[in-house]
Amino acid sequence: MKSLERNAVHTYSNRQLMKSKKIILTDVDGVLLDWEYAFHVWMEQHGHNPVDGYRLKYNIGARFGIRKDLGRRLINIFNESASIGFLPPLRDSMYYVRKLHEQHGYVFHAITSLSTNPHAVKLREQNLAKLFGGSVFEKVTCLDTGADKDDALQKYKNTNCLWIEDKIANAEVGLNVGLRSIIMEHGHNMHYEGEASLVKNWKEIYNLIIKR
């Protein structure tokens, strides 16, 4: 019983620490980095072209008119290729993330379903550091390709941290564990009408943060 009590106190202390710090939780692909653009270039180089209206489709198989299992396999190959270390920033992310860090003292914890391959993880960390600066990301958690984020977000339960995503299901998980979810708008999620805030860019996120 004492051991359980110690664990509970330790967990509580960690949550209190996170509440006392300016931490923003964020996805990477489709939020910080323009994975979609880089992946589409790579796919076209390998002979795959998107179908009409692809921007409204989330599933890669549907986007390119191929089997779902092939789509997943190609995503995994791309995510573990050298290309993953050179993704461009998404929209205005670089300017406003740096501004939140340098002018307002926020640090970021990235949670990304990229790959657990150590080379892919290293390339992701290097890509983020090069674009946003070496001190912006206090923590980068890389999950397996396409993995759910339930367990990773559970560690931040009831901290009221901001959680920025583009996948609706992951944003809803954040709401369920006591986070303030924000969804970065794309064609596949622009219909969203739930409790999370829907934004078009990081300028809107910045304004939500500094004006609250």
- Is there a contact between 94 and 79 (Cβ–Cβ < 8 Å)? no
Residue identified by tokens 């986070």 is 179
Rounded CA separation 174/60 (Å): 24
What are the pLDDT digits (tens) for 31-90? Answer: 999 999 999 999 999 999 999 999 898 899 999 999 999 999 999 999 999 999 999 999
Mean pLDDT over 5-28 rounds to 65
Band (21; pLDDT cuts 50, 70, 90): confident
Q: What is the pLDDT of residue 211?
A: 85
7 pLDDT higher than 60? no
What whole-number distance in Å separates Cα of residue 182 and Cα of residue 192? 11
* Burial environment of residue 178 by CB neighbours within 10 A (0 to 12, 13 to 18, 19 or more): middle
- Greater confidence (80 vs 211) lies with 80
Nearest to 108 by CA among 37, 12, 188, 205: 205
Torsion angle in degrees (nearest 10) through CA of 64, 69, 75, 78? -100
How sure is the predictor about 6, in pLDDT bands with cuts at 50, 70 and 90? very low
Tell me if 110 sits within 8 A of 27, measured CB to CB: yes
| pLDDT value at residue 15 | 62
The predicted-structure confidence for 85-108, as pLDDT tens digits, reads as follows: 999 999 999 999 999 999 999 999
Using a 10 angstrom Cβ sphere, with 0-12 exposed, 13-18 middle and 19 or more buried, the burial of residue 175 is: middle
H or E element that contains 130: helix 118-132
